[in-house]
Structure 1
Amino acid sequence: MDLTLLYRGPLASCDYDCPYCPFGKRRDTPGQLRADRAALERFTAWAAAQDDRLAVLFTPWGEGLTRSWYRDAIVRLSRMPHVRRVAIQTNLSGRTSWLADADRAKAALWCTFHPGQTPYDRFLARTRELTSLGVRFSVGIVGLPEHLAAARRLRADLPDGHYLWINAAEGHTYSDDEAARWTALDPLFPFSRHPHSSAGLPCRTGESVISVDGDGTVRRCHFVRDTLGNLYDGSFRTALAPRPCPLAVCDCHIGYVHLESLPLYDVFAGGVLERIPAPTSTHLSTRALPVLP
Protein backbone atom coordinates (compact mmCIF):
# COMPACT_ATOMS: atom_id res chain seq x y z
CA MET A 1 0.00 0.00 0.00
CA ASP A 2 1.13 3.55 -0.78
CA LEU A 3 -0.05 5.73 2.12
CA THR A 4 0.32 9.44 2.84
CA LEU A 5 0.03 10.55 6.47
CA LEU A 6 -0.66 14.09 7.66
CA TYR A 7 0.58 14.09 11.26
CA ARG A 8 -0.43 16.73 13.79
CA GLY A 9 0.54 16.06 17.39
CA PRO A 10 -0.39 18.10 20.46
CA LEU A 11 2.39 20.71 19.99
CA ALA A 12 0.82 24.18 19.87
CA SER A 13 3.60 26.57 20.91
CA CYS A 14 5.29 28.81 18.39
CA ASP A 15 8.13 31.31 18.50
CA TYR A 16 6.07 33.71 16.33
CA ASP A 17 2.87 35.58 17.11
CA CYS A 18 1.36 36.32 13.70
CA PRO A 19 -1.89 38.32 14.01
CA TYR A 20 -3.38 36.54 10.97
CA CYS A 21 -2.58 33.01 12.15
CA PRO A 22 -5.76 30.89 12.29
CA PHE A 23 -4.28 28.44 14.82
CA GLY A 24 -5.00 28.96 18.50
CA LYS A 25 -1.50 29.00 20.00
CA ARG A 26 -0.65 28.25 23.61
CA ARG A 27 2.51 28.30 25.69
CA ASP A 28 3.24 24.60 26.04
CA THR A 29 4.16 23.46 29.53
CA PRO A 30 7.10 21.07 30.05
CA GLY A 31 4.56 18.29 30.52
CA GLN A 32 2.82 19.12 27.24
CA LEU A 33 6.15 19.15 25.44
CA ARG A 34 7.06 15.77 26.92
CA ALA A 35 3.71 14.39 25.77
CA ASP A 36 4.26 15.76 22.27
CA ARG A 37 7.73 14.22 22.12
CA ALA A 38 6.44 10.83 23.29
CA ALA A 39 3.62 10.93 20.73
CA LEU A 40 6.00 11.75 17.88
CA GLU A 41 8.49 9.07 18.92
CA ARG A 42 5.64 6.54 19.00
CA PHE A 43 4.56 7.59 15.52
CA THR A 44 8.11 7.31 14.18
CA ALA A 45 8.51 3.86 15.71
CA TRP A 46 5.23 2.79 14.08
CA ALA A 47 6.43 4.05 10.71
CA ALA A 48 9.69 2.12 11.07
CA ALA A 49 7.79 -1.14 11.56
CA GLN A 50 5.57 -0.82 8.46
CA ASP A 51 5.74 -2.62 5.14
CA ASP A 52 3.69 0.08 3.40
CA ARG A 53 5.34 2.72 1.24
CA LEU A 54 4.88 5.90 3.27
CA ALA A 55 4.97 9.65 2.82
CA VAL A 56 4.66 11.96 5.84
CA LEU A 57 3.79 15.64 6.16
CA PHE A 58 4.02 17.22 9.61
CA THR A 59 1.47 20.03 10.00
CA PRO A 60 1.93 21.17 13.63
CA TRP A 61 -0.21 23.84 15.26
CA GLY A 62 3.06 25.38 16.42
CA GLU A 63 6.64 25.48 15.14
CA GLY A 64 8.12 22.00 15.14
CA LEU A 65 11.68 22.58 14.02
CA THR A 66 12.58 24.49 17.17
CA ARG A 67 12.10 21.12 18.93
CA SER A 68 14.84 18.52 18.62
CA TRP A 69 12.41 15.61 18.37
CA TYR A 70 10.91 16.89 15.11
CA ARG A 71 14.36 17.32 13.61
CA ASP A 72 15.34 13.83 14.78
CA ALA A 73 12.12 12.32 13.40
CA ILE A 74 12.64 13.87 9.97
CA VAL A 75 16.21 12.58 9.79
CA ARG A 76 15.18 9.11 10.92
CA LEU A 77 12.15 8.87 8.64
CA SER A 78 14.11 10.10 5.63
CA ARG A 79 16.54 7.22 6.07
CA MET A 80 13.87 4.52 6.12
CA PRO A 81 13.88 2.67 2.77
CA HIS A 82 10.08 2.49 2.57
CA VAL A 83 9.54 6.23 3.25
CA ARG A 84 9.45 8.10 -0.05
CA ARG A 85 9.03 11.62 1.35
CA VAL A 86 9.00 13.41 4.71
CA ALA A 87 8.19 17.11 4.91
CA ILE A 88 7.14 19.71 7.47
CA GLN A 89 5.48 23.11 7.46
CA THR A 90 7.85 25.58 9.13
CA ASN A 91 8.56 29.27 9.63
CA LEU A 92 12.26 28.49 9.04
CA SER A 93 13.32 30.34 12.17
CA GLY A 94 15.72 27.66 13.36
CA ARG A 95 19.07 26.43 12.17
CA THR A 96 19.23 24.19 9.10
CA SER A 97 22.58 22.38 9.47
CA TRP A 98 20.91 19.31 10.99
CA LEU A 99 19.53 18.49 7.54
CA ALA A 100 23.01 17.37 6.51
CA ASP A 101 22.22 14.14 8.40
CA ALA A 102 18.98 13.53 6.49
CA ASP A 103 18.47 11.84 3.15
CA ARG A 104 17.98 15.04 1.17
CA ALA A 105 16.39 13.19 -1.72
CA LYS A 106 13.47 12.55 0.65
CA ALA A 107 13.43 15.31 3.28
CA ALA A 108 11.78 18.60 2.29
CA LEU A 109 10.49 21.83 3.86
CA TRP A 110 7.36 23.88 3.24
CA CYS A 111 8.52 27.31 4.44
CA THR A 112 6.45 30.39 5.22
CA PHE A 113 7.86 33.91 5.51
CA HIS A 114 6.06 36.02 8.11
CA PRO A 115 6.89 39.75 7.73
CA GLY A 116 7.23 41.49 11.06
CA GLN A 117 8.20 38.28 12.85
CA THR A 118 11.74 37.85 11.54
CA PRO A 119 14.20 40.03 9.61
CA TYR A 120 13.92 39.54 5.86
CA ASP A 121 17.66 39.02 5.40
CA ARG A 122 17.74 36.31 8.07
CA PHE A 123 14.94 34.39 6.37
CA LEU A 124 16.55 34.73 2.96
CA ALA A 125 19.87 33.51 4.39
CA ARG A 126 18.08 30.38 5.62
CA THR A 127 16.80 29.65 2.11
CA ARG A 128 20.32 29.99 0.78
CA GLU A 129 21.55 27.56 3.42
CA LEU A 130 18.92 25.07 2.26
CA THR A 131 20.03 25.53 -1.34
CA SER A 132 23.66 24.93 -0.44
CA LEU A 133 22.67 21.76 1.44
CA GLY A 134 20.68 20.51 -1.54
CA VAL A 135 17.41 20.45 0.42
CA ARG A 136 14.10 20.60 -1.44
CA PHE A 137 11.87 23.46 -0.29
CA SER A 138 9.10 25.81 -1.28
CA VAL A 139 8.59 29.29 0.14
CA GLY A 140 5.40 31.21 0.58
CA ILE A 141 3.64 34.12 2.21
CA VAL A 142 0.10 35.03 3.20
CA GLY A 143 -1.45 37.28 0.55
CA LEU A 144 -2.28 40.33 2.64
CA PRO A 145 -1.93 43.76 1.00
CA GLU A 146 0.79 44.79 3.43
CA HIS A 147 2.82 41.71 2.40
CA LEU A 148 2.91 42.48 -1.32
CA ALA A 149 6.24 44.35 -1.28
CA ALA A 150 7.89 41.58 0.73
CA ALA A 151 6.49 38.94 -1.64
CA ARG A 152 7.87 40.79 -4.66
CA ARG A 153 11.23 41.06 -2.96
CA LEU A 154 11.20 37.35 -2.19
CA ARG A 155 10.38 36.48 -5.78
CA ALA A 156 13.33 38.55 -6.96
CA ASP A 157 15.77 37.21 -4.37
CA LEU A 158 14.92 33.52 -4.15
CA PRO A 159 17.31 31.16 -5.92
CA ASP A 160 16.37 30.67 -9.56
CA GLY A 161 13.77 28.02 -10.04
CA HIS A 162 12.32 27.95 -6.53
CA TYR A 163 8.56 28.25 -6.34
CA LEU A 164 6.96 31.08 -4.37
CA TRP A 165 3.41 30.26 -3.31
CA ILE A 166 0.80 32.75 -2.11
CA ASN A 167 -1.91 31.71 0.33
CA ALA A 168 -5.15 33.68 0.15
CA ALA A 169 -5.63 35.36 3.51
CA GLU A 170 -8.46 33.94 5.57
CA GLY A 171 -11.51 36.21 5.40
CA HIS A 172 -9.99 38.46 2.73
CA THR A 173 -11.87 39.06 -0.54
CA TYR A 174 -9.67 39.79 -3.55
CA SER A 175 -10.68 42.12 -6.34
CA ASP A 176 -9.64 41.05 -9.81
CA ASP A 177 -6.87 43.66 -9.77
CA GLU A 178 -5.56 42.41 -6.43
CA ALA A 179 -5.72 38.81 -7.58
CA ALA A 180 -3.81 39.70 -10.74
CA ARG A 181 -0.97 41.18 -8.66
CA TRP A 182 -0.67 38.00 -6.62
CA THR A 183 -1.02 35.75 -9.66
CA ALA A 184 1.90 37.58 -11.29
CA LEU A 185 4.01 36.22 -8.42
CA ASP A 186 2.34 32.81 -8.10
CA PRO A 187 0.61 31.50 -11.21
CA LEU A 188 -1.19 28.98 -8.98
CA PHE A 189 -2.77 31.67 -6.77
CA PRO A 190 -6.17 31.24 -8.50
CA PHE A 191 -6.43 27.82 -6.81
CA SER A 192 -6.11 29.55 -3.41
CA ARG A 193 -8.23 32.65 -4.11
CA HIS A 194 -11.65 31.05 -3.60
CA PRO A 195 -12.80 28.06 -1.51
CA HIS A 196 -13.44 24.98 -3.62
CA SER A 197 -16.90 23.45 -3.71
CA SER A 198 -16.25 19.90 -2.57
CA ALA A 199 -19.51 18.35 -1.38
CA GLY A 200 -19.97 14.92 -2.95
CA LEU A 201 -16.75 15.12 -4.94
CA PRO A 202 -14.16 12.33 -4.87
CA CYS A 203 -11.10 12.94 -2.72
CA ARG A 204 -8.03 10.85 -2.02
CA THR A 205 -8.34 11.48 1.71
CA GLY A 206 -9.69 8.48 3.55
CA GLU A 207 -8.30 6.13 0.92
CA SER A 208 -4.60 6.82 0.24
CA VAL A 209 -4.25 9.94 2.44
CA ILE A 210 -5.08 10.08 6.15
CA SER A 211 -4.77 12.49 9.06
CA VAL A 212 -3.24 11.25 12.33
CA ASP A 213 -3.19 12.96 15.72
CA GLY A 214 -0.91 12.39 18.68
CA ASP A 215 -3.07 9.61 20.13
CA GLY A 216 -3.10 7.78 16.81
CA THR A 217 -6.70 8.69 15.99
CA VAL A 218 -7.12 8.50 12.22
CA ARG A 219 -9.45 10.75 10.25
CA ARG A 220 -9.70 11.22 6.52
CA CYS A 221 -8.25 14.73 6.78
CA HIS A 222 -7.71 17.53 9.29
CA PHE A 223 -11.07 19.10 8.42
CA VAL A 224 -13.48 16.14 8.76
CA ARG A 225 -13.90 15.07 12.38
CA ASP A 226 -15.34 11.59 11.77
CA THR A 227 -12.84 8.94 12.84
CA LEU A 228 -11.69 5.98 10.75
CA GLY A 229 -10.05 4.08 13.59
CA ASN A 230 -6.66 4.13 15.26
CA LEU A 231 -3.21 3.95 13.73
CA TYR A 232 -1.66 1.82 16.43
CA ASP A 233 -4.22 -0.97 16.64
CA GLY A 234 -4.55 -1.09 12.86
CA SER A 235 -8.32 -0.54 12.99
CA PHE A 236 -8.12 2.28 10.44
CA ARG A 237 -7.12 -0.09 7.66
CA THR A 238 -10.54 -1.66 7.15
CA ALA A 239 -12.04 1.85 6.80
CA LEU A 240 -9.78 2.94 3.93
CA ALA A 241 -11.96 3.33 0.84
CA PRO A 242 -12.93 5.85 -1.81
CA ARG A 243 -15.48 8.27 -0.42
CA PRO A 244 -16.88 11.67 -1.44
CA CYS A 245 -16.14 14.81 0.55
CA PRO A 246 -18.87 15.49 3.16
CA LEU A 247 -18.09 19.21 3.46
CA ALA A 248 -19.59 22.03 1.41
CA VAL A 249 -16.24 23.64 0.63
CA CYS A 250 -12.52 23.03 1.08
CA ASP A 251 -10.40 26.17 1.45
CA CYS A 252 -6.99 24.97 2.67
CA HIS A 253 -4.24 23.76 0.37
CA ILE A 254 -3.43 20.72 2.51
CA GLY A 255 -7.03 19.64 1.97
CA TYR A 256 -8.02 20.61 -1.57
CA VAL A 257 -4.72 19.45 -3.10
CA HIS A 258 -6.13 15.92 -2.68
CA LEU A 259 -9.45 16.58 -4.47
CA GLU A 260 -9.65 14.44 -7.57
CA SER A 261 -11.71 17.15 -9.31
CA LEU A 262 -8.64 19.43 -9.33
CA PRO A 263 -5.48 18.87 -11.41
CA LEU A 264 -3.10 19.49 -8.50
CA TYR A 265 -1.59 16.00 -8.33
CA ASP A 266 -0.36 16.63 -11.87
CA VAL A 267 0.66 20.21 -11.10
CA PHE A 268 2.67 19.10 -8.04
CA ALA A 269 3.73 15.71 -9.37
CA GLY A 270 6.67 14.56 -7.25
CA GLY A 271 6.19 17.40 -4.75
CA VAL A 272 2.63 17.29 -3.39
CA LEU A 273 3.63 17.27 0.28
CA GLU A 274 6.24 20.01 0.09
CA ARG A 275 4.19 22.12 -2.37
CA ILE A 276 6.78 22.06 -5.14
CA PRO A 277 5.28 22.02 -8.64
CA ALA A 278 6.54 19.75 -11.36
CA PRO A 279 8.81 21.66 -13.77
CA THR A 280 6.60 20.66 -16.69
CA SER A 281 3.36 21.97 -15.17
CA THR A 282 1.35 23.89 -17.76
CA HIS A 283 -0.15 26.01 -14.96
CA LEU A 284 3.18 27.70 -14.30
CA SER A 285 4.90 30.57 -16.02
CA THR A 286 8.02 30.08 -18.10
CA ARG A 287 10.25 30.69 -15.06
CA ALA A 288 12.47 27.64 -14.77
CA LEU A 289 11.72 25.20 -11.97
CA PRO A 290 14.03 22.52 -10.63
CA VAL A 291 13.75 19.00 -11.98
CA LEU A 292 12.42 16.77 -9.21
CA PRO A 293 13.95 13.38 -8.50
Structure 2
Amino acid sequence: MDAGHLTILYRGPLASCDYDCPYCPFAKRRDTPGQLRADRAALERFTAWVADRDHPVSVLFTPWGEGLVRSWYRRALVELSRLPHVRRVAIQTNLSHRTAWTADADPARLALWATYHPGQTPYERFLTKTHELAGRGIRFSVGIVGQPEHLADACRLRADLPGHVYLWVNAAEGRSYTDAEAAEWTAIDPLFSYSRHPHASLGRACHTGETVVSVDGEGTVRRCHFVPTVLGNLYDGSFRAALGPRPCPLDTCDCHIGYVHLKPLGLYDVFAGGILERIPHLA
Protein backbone atom coordinates (compact mmCIF):
# COMPACT_ATOMS: atom_id res chain seq x y z
CA MET A 1 0.00 0.00 0.00
CA ASP A 2 1.16 3.55 -0.70
CA ALA A 3 2.14 5.78 2.19
CA GLY A 4 -0.88 7.73 3.32
CA HIS A 5 -3.27 5.46 1.42
CA LEU A 6 -6.63 5.09 3.16
CA THR A 7 -9.20 2.43 2.33
CA ILE A 8 -12.79 3.27 3.28
CA LEU A 9 -15.70 0.87 3.59
CA TYR A 10 -18.73 3.15 3.20
CA ARG A 11 -22.20 2.11 4.31
CA GLY A 12 -24.87 4.80 4.26
CA PRO A 13 -28.47 4.48 5.47
CA LEU A 14 -29.72 2.77 2.27
CA ALA A 15 -31.39 -0.53 3.23
CA SER A 16 -33.84 -1.20 0.41
CA CYS A 17 -33.33 -4.09 -1.97
CA ASP A 18 -35.18 -5.35 -5.02
CA TYR A 19 -34.50 -9.02 -4.21
CA ASP A 20 -36.18 -11.35 -1.74
CA CYS A 21 -33.37 -13.73 -0.78
CA PRO A 22 -34.48 -16.00 2.09
CA TYR A 23 -31.02 -15.81 3.70
CA CYS A 24 -30.97 -11.98 3.88
CA PRO A 25 -32.72 -9.87 6.55
CA PHE A 26 -32.96 -6.90 4.17
CA ALA A 27 -34.80 -8.73 1.39
CA LYS A 28 -37.51 -6.65 -0.26
CA ARG A 29 -37.07 -3.92 2.32
CA ARG A 30 -38.24 -0.52 1.11
CA ASP A 31 -36.87 2.88 2.10
CA THR A 32 -39.27 5.81 2.35
CA PRO A 33 -38.74 8.81 0.04
CA GLY A 34 -37.31 10.66 3.01
CA GLN A 35 -34.86 7.88 3.75
CA LEU A 36 -33.76 7.82 0.12
CA ARG A 37 -33.20 11.59 0.15
CA ALA A 38 -31.13 11.26 3.31
CA ASP A 39 -29.06 8.47 1.76
CA ARG A 40 -28.45 10.51 -1.37
CA ALA A 41 -27.38 13.57 0.64
CA ALA A 42 -25.06 11.45 2.78
CA LEU A 43 -23.46 9.83 -0.27
CA GLU A 44 -22.98 13.14 -2.05
CA ARG A 45 -21.32 14.58 1.06
CA PHE A 46 -19.00 11.59 1.24
CA THR A 47 -18.15 11.79 -2.47
CA ALA A 48 -17.30 15.47 -2.10
CA TRP A 49 -14.99 14.65 0.83
CA VAL A 50 -13.13 12.03 -1.20
CA ALA A 51 -12.83 14.41 -4.15
CA ASP A 52 -11.19 17.02 -1.91
CA ARG A 53 -8.39 14.74 -0.67
CA ASP A 54 -4.71 15.15 -1.45
CA HIS A 55 -3.72 11.57 -0.59
CA PRO A 56 -4.51 8.17 -2.15
CA VAL A 57 -7.96 6.78 -1.32
CA SER A 58 -9.79 3.56 -2.17
CA VAL A 59 -13.49 3.04 -1.52
CA LEU A 60 -15.72 -0.01 -1.24
CA PHE A 61 -19.44 0.70 -0.99
CA THR A 62 -21.13 -2.01 1.09
CA PRO A 63 -24.80 -0.96 1.25
CA TRP A 64 -27.30 -3.09 3.14
CA GLY A 65 -29.55 -2.74 0.11
CA GLU A 66 -28.90 -2.58 -3.63
CA GLY A 67 -27.10 0.62 -4.56
CA LEU A 68 -26.84 0.44 -8.34
CA VAL A 69 -30.59 0.80 -8.84
CA ARG A 70 -30.12 4.33 -7.42
CA SER A 71 -28.73 6.98 -9.77
CA TRP A 72 -26.64 8.62 -7.05
CA TYR A 73 -24.58 5.48 -6.50
CA ARG A 74 -23.90 5.06 -10.19
CA ARG A 75 -22.93 8.71 -10.42
CA ALA A 76 -20.64 8.47 -7.37
CA LEU A 77 -18.84 5.46 -8.82
CA VAL A 78 -18.29 7.21 -12.15
CA GLU A 79 -17.11 10.45 -10.54
CA LEU A 80 -14.76 8.79 -8.08
CA SER A 81 -13.29 6.51 -10.75
CA ARG A 82 -12.14 9.58 -12.64
CA LEU A 83 -10.21 11.15 -9.76
CA PRO A 84 -6.45 10.58 -10.07
CA HIS A 85 -5.92 10.00 -6.34
CA VAL A 86 -8.66 7.32 -6.14
CA ARG A 87 -6.89 4.02 -6.64
CA ARG A 88 -10.02 1.85 -6.66
CA VAL A 89 -13.76 2.41 -6.21
CA ALA A 90 -15.95 -0.67 -5.94
CA ILE A 91 -19.42 -1.71 -4.81
CA GLN A 92 -21.18 -4.88 -3.73
CA THR A 93 -24.15 -5.45 -6.03
CA ASN A 94 -26.67 -8.02 -7.21
CA LEU A 95 -26.16 -6.69 -10.76
CA SER A 96 -29.90 -6.27 -11.27
CA HIS A 97 -29.50 -2.87 -12.95
CA ARG A 98 -28.33 -2.24 -16.50
CA THR A 99 -24.57 -2.03 -17.06
CA ALA A 100 -24.41 0.74 -19.69
CA TRP A 101 -23.49 3.39 -17.09
CA THR A 102 -20.06 1.79 -16.66
CA ALA A 103 -19.05 3.18 -20.05
CA ASP A 104 -18.70 6.60 -18.39
CA ALA A 105 -16.31 5.34 -15.70
CA ASP A 106 -12.57 4.79 -15.79
CA PRO A 107 -12.20 0.99 -16.08
CA ALA A 108 -8.73 1.20 -14.56
CA ARG A 109 -10.27 2.24 -11.23
CA LEU A 110 -13.86 0.98 -11.21
CA ALA A 111 -14.64 -2.54 -9.98
CA LEU A 112 -17.76 -4.52 -9.06
CA TRP A 113 -18.30 -7.25 -6.48
CA ALA A 114 -21.34 -9.01 -7.97
CA THR A 115 -23.42 -11.74 -6.36
CA TYR A 116 -25.70 -14.15 -8.21
CA HIS A 117 -28.83 -15.07 -6.29
CA PRO A 118 -30.60 -18.07 -7.88
CA GLY A 119 -34.35 -17.67 -8.00
CA GLN A 120 -34.17 -13.88 -7.88
CA THR A 121 -33.25 -13.19 -11.49
CA PRO A 122 -33.17 -15.27 -14.67
CA TYR A 123 -29.81 -16.97 -15.06
CA GLU A 124 -29.31 -15.82 -18.64
CA ARG A 125 -30.03 -12.20 -17.71
CA PHE A 126 -27.34 -12.23 -15.03
CA LEU A 127 -24.86 -14.03 -17.27
CA THR A 128 -25.43 -11.56 -20.10
CA LYS A 129 -24.55 -8.68 -17.79
CA THR A 130 -21.29 -10.32 -16.80
CA HIS A 131 -20.31 -10.64 -20.43
CA GLU A 132 -21.27 -6.99 -21.02
CA LEU A 133 -18.96 -5.95 -18.18
CA ALA A 134 -16.15 -8.11 -19.50
CA GLY A 135 -16.62 -6.63 -22.95
CA ARG A 136 -16.21 -3.13 -21.52
CA GLY A 137 -13.07 -4.07 -19.65
CA ILE A 138 -14.64 -3.61 -16.22
CA ARG A 139 -13.00 -5.47 -13.33
CA PHE A 140 -15.45 -7.63 -11.42
CA SER A 141 -15.82 -10.79 -9.40
CA VAL A 142 -18.92 -12.95 -9.17
CA GLY A 143 -20.08 -14.86 -6.14
CA ILE A 144 -22.77 -17.13 -4.81
CA VAL A 145 -23.87 -18.27 -1.37
CA GLY A 146 -22.91 -21.88 -0.71
CA GLN A 147 -26.41 -23.24 -0.12
CA PRO A 148 -26.74 -26.92 -1.15
CA GLU A 149 -29.49 -26.04 -3.62
CA HIS A 150 -27.12 -23.54 -5.31
CA LEU A 151 -24.43 -26.04 -6.20
CA ALA A 152 -25.71 -26.84 -9.68
CA ASP A 153 -26.12 -23.14 -10.46
CA ALA A 154 -22.59 -22.48 -9.24
CA CYS A 155 -21.16 -25.20 -11.48
CA ARG A 156 -23.10 -23.88 -14.44
CA LEU A 157 -21.96 -20.34 -13.71
CA ARG A 158 -18.31 -21.36 -13.48
CA ALA A 159 -18.58 -23.00 -16.90
CA ASP A 160 -20.33 -20.03 -18.52
CA LEU A 161 -18.48 -17.05 -17.05
CA PRO A 162 -15.57 -15.52 -18.93
CA GLY A 163 -12.55 -17.59 -18.00
CA HIS A 164 -10.69 -14.76 -16.25
CA VAL A 165 -13.58 -13.96 -13.89
CA TYR A 166 -13.13 -15.21 -10.33
CA LEU A 167 -16.19 -17.03 -8.93
CA TRP A 168 -16.14 -16.96 -5.13
CA VAL A 169 -18.38 -18.92 -2.75
CA ASN A 170 -19.54 -17.57 0.59
CA ALA A 171 -20.22 -20.18 3.23
CA ALA A 172 -23.91 -20.05 4.14
CA GLU A 173 -24.64 -18.38 7.47
CA GLY A 174 -24.53 -20.86 10.32
CA ARG A 175 -23.92 -23.86 8.09
CA SER A 176 -21.34 -26.56 8.79
CA TYR A 177 -19.86 -28.32 5.77
CA THR A 178 -18.63 -31.89 5.70
CA ASP A 179 -15.26 -32.37 4.03
CA ALA A 180 -17.03 -33.89 1.03
CA GLU A 181 -19.36 -30.89 0.72
CA ALA A 182 -16.47 -28.49 1.14
CA ALA A 183 -14.57 -30.29 -1.61
CA GLU A 184 -17.44 -29.69 -4.04
CA TRP A 185 -17.42 -25.97 -3.32
CA THR A 186 -13.62 -25.81 -3.39
CA ALA A 187 -13.68 -27.27 -6.90
CA ILE A 188 -15.57 -24.10 -7.87
CA ASP A 189 -13.73 -21.65 -5.61
CA PRO A 190 -10.21 -22.73 -4.65
CA LEU A 191 -10.30 -20.16 -1.82
CA PHE A 192 -13.51 -21.50 -0.25
CA SER A 193 -11.55 -22.67 2.81
CA TYR A 194 -11.20 -19.07 3.96
CA SER A 195 -14.98 -18.72 4.09
CA ARG A 196 -15.77 -22.16 5.46
CA HIS A 197 -14.82 -21.46 9.09
CA PRO A 198 -14.76 -18.25 11.16
CA HIS A 199 -11.25 -16.96 11.78
CA ALA A 200 -9.91 -16.57 15.30
CA SER A 201 -9.20 -12.86 15.53
CA LEU A 202 -8.97 -11.84 19.20
CA GLY A 203 -5.69 -10.04 19.78
CA ARG A 204 -4.54 -10.52 16.20
CA ALA A 205 -3.12 -7.70 14.12
CA CYS A 206 -5.43 -6.17 11.51
CA HIS A 207 -5.20 -3.42 8.94
CA THR A 208 -8.56 -2.02 10.08
CA GLY A 209 -8.23 1.03 12.26
CA GLU A 210 -4.80 1.66 10.75
CA THR A 211 -5.10 1.95 6.96
CA VAL A 212 -8.71 0.73 6.61
CA VAL A 213 -11.80 2.28 8.21
CA SER A 214 -15.57 1.97 8.12
CA VAL A 215 -17.68 5.10 7.59
CA ASP A 216 -21.44 5.51 7.94
CA GLY A 217 -23.79 8.12 6.52
CA GLU A 218 -23.12 10.56 9.35
CA GLY A 219 -19.39 10.34 8.81
CA THR A 220 -18.85 8.30 11.95
CA VAL A 221 -15.61 6.36 11.63
CA ARG A 222 -15.04 2.92 13.12
CA ARG A 223 -12.25 0.45 12.45
CA CYS A 224 -14.63 -1.89 10.59
CA HIS A 225 -18.30 -2.69 10.23
CA PHE A 226 -18.15 -5.25 13.05
CA VAL A 227 -16.51 -3.31 15.89
CA PRO A 228 -18.81 -0.57 17.27
CA THR A 229 -16.10 1.54 18.92
CA VAL A 230 -16.03 5.02 17.37
CA LEU A 231 -12.68 6.42 16.26
CA GLY A 232 -13.97 9.89 15.38
CA ASN A 233 -15.67 11.63 12.50
CA LEU A 234 -14.62 11.77 8.87
CA TYR A 235 -15.74 15.31 8.22
CA ASP A 236 -14.12 17.08 11.17
CA GLY A 237 -10.94 15.03 10.81
CA SER A 238 -11.11 13.81 14.40
CA PHE A 239 -10.62 10.17 13.33
CA ARG A 240 -7.07 10.72 12.13
CA ALA A 241 -5.53 10.92 15.58
CA ALA A 242 -6.99 7.50 16.38
CA LEU A 243 -5.48 5.70 13.37
CA GLY A 244 -2.80 3.20 14.20
CA PRO A 245 -2.02 -0.49 14.73
CA ARG A 246 -4.44 -2.20 17.08
CA PRO A 247 -5.35 -5.84 17.79
CA CYS A 248 -8.83 -7.13 17.00
CA PRO A 249 -11.17 -7.09 20.05
CA LEU A 250 -13.53 -9.77 18.68
CA ASP A 251 -13.23 -13.52 19.20
CA THR A 252 -13.79 -14.37 15.56
CA CYS A 253 -14.24 -12.77 12.15
CA ASP A 254 -16.39 -14.59 9.60
CA CYS A 255 -17.07 -12.03 6.86
CA HIS A 256 -14.74 -11.55 3.92
CA ILE A 257 -14.79 -7.75 4.14
CA GLY A 258 -13.48 -8.17 7.68
CA TYR A 259 -11.05 -11.08 7.67
CA VAL A 260 -9.39 -10.10 4.40
CA HIS A 261 -7.69 -7.39 6.49
CA LEU A 262 -6.41 -9.71 9.25
CA LYS A 263 -2.65 -9.51 8.86
CA PRO A 264 -1.78 -13.10 9.91
CA LEU A 265 -3.95 -14.54 7.11
CA GLY A 266 -1.79 -12.92 4.44
CA LEU A 267 -4.76 -12.25 2.17
CA TYR A 268 -3.33 -8.94 0.99
CA ASP A 269 -0.89 -11.08 -0.98
CA VAL A 270 -3.58 -13.49 -2.19
CA PHE A 271 -5.81 -10.61 -3.38
CA ALA A 272 -3.03 -8.22 -4.32
CA GLY A 273 -4.48 -5.55 -6.60
CA GLY A 274 -8.04 -6.74 -6.02
CA ILE A 275 -8.71 -6.64 -2.29
CA LEU A 276 -11.84 -4.48 -2.48
CA GLU A 277 -13.46 -6.28 -5.40
CA ARG A 278 -12.45 -9.74 -4.14
CA ILE A 279 -10.29 -10.70 -7.10
CA PRO A 280 -7.21 -12.86 -6.42
CA HIS A 281 -4.05 -11.61 -8.08
CA LEU A 282 -3.92 -14.68 -10.34
CA ALA A 283 -7.57 -14.36 -11.45
Tell me, in whole angstroms, the C-alpha distance in 2 between the residues paired with 1:73 and 1:248.
35
- Cα deviation digits, residues 21-71 of structure 1 (max 9, x gap): 154763100000000000000000000111120000000000000000000
Give the partner amino acid of 2:76. A
- Cα deviation digits, residues 241-285 of structure 1 (max 9, x gap): 100000000000000000001021000000000000001xxxxxx
Equivalent residue number for residue 103 of structure 2:
100
Give the partner amino acid of 1:276. I
| Structure 1, unpaired ranges of 5+ | 280-288
* Residue correspondence of structure 1 range 163-178 to structure 2 within 5 A: 163-178=166-181
Matched, 1:118 2:150: no
Equivalent residue number for residue 149 of structure 2:
146
User: Equivalent pairs: percent with the same residue?
Assistant: 75
Equivalent residue number for residue 58 of structure 1:
61
Equivalent residue number for residue 219 of structure 1:
222
Matched, 1:181 2:191: no
- Cα deviation digits, residues 183-215 of structure 1 (max 9, x gap): 010000000000000000000000000000000
Equivalent residue number for residue 132 of structure 2:
129
1:229 is paired with a residue whose SS is strand
Give the partner amino acid of 1:68. S
Q: Is the 8 A contact 1:55 1:84 kept in 2?
A: yes
Tell me, in whole angstroms, the C-alpha distance in 1 between the residues paired with 2:165 and 2:84.
27
Tell me, in whole angstroms, the C-alpha distance in 1 between the residues paired with 2:180 and 2:163.
27
| Structure 2, unpaired ranges of 5+ | none
- Cα deviation digits, residues 60-105 of structure 1 (max 9, x gap): 0000000000000000000011000000000000001100000000
| Aligned-residue CA RMSD (Å) | 0.8
2:38 is paired with a residue whose SS is helix
- TM-score normalised over the length of structure 2: 0.98
Equivalent residue number for residue 77 of structure 2:
74
Q: Is the 8 A contact 1:12 1:25 kept in 2?
A: no
Tell me, in whole angstroms, the C-alpha distance in 1 between the residues paired with 2:117 and 2:271.
24
- TM-score normalised over the length of structure 1: 0.94
1:261 is paired with a residue whose SS is helix
Matched, 1:251 2:251: no
Q: Is the 8 A contact 1:25 1:61 kept in 2?
A: no
Tell me, in whole angstroms, the C-alpha distance in 1 between the residues paired with 2:27 and 2:253.
20
Q: Is the 8 A contact 1:4 1:210 kept in 2?
A: yes
Tell me, in whole angstroms, the C-alpha distance in 1 between the residues paired with 2:84 and 2:156.
39
Q: Is the 8 A contact 2:18 2:27 kept in 1?
A: no
- Cα deviation digits, residues 145-181 of structure 1 (max 9, x gap): 0000000000000001211000000011100000000
Tell me, in whole angstroms, the C-alpha distance in 2 between the residues paired with 1:220 and 1:49.
22
Q: How many correspondences in the alignment?
A: 280
2:263 is paired with a residue whose SS is coil
Equivalent residue number for residue 211 of structure 2:
208
Moved over 4 A (4+): 22-25
Tell me, in whole angstroms, the C-alpha distance in 2 between the residues paired with 1:74 and 1:42.
14
Tell me, in whole angstroms, the C-alpha distance in 1 between the residues paired with 2:209 and 2:41.
26
Matched, 1:32 2:35: yes
- Counterparts in 2 of 1:146 and 1:13: CA distance versus 1, 3 Å: same
Equivalent residue number for residue 46 of structure 1:
49
Give the partner amino acid of 2:58. A
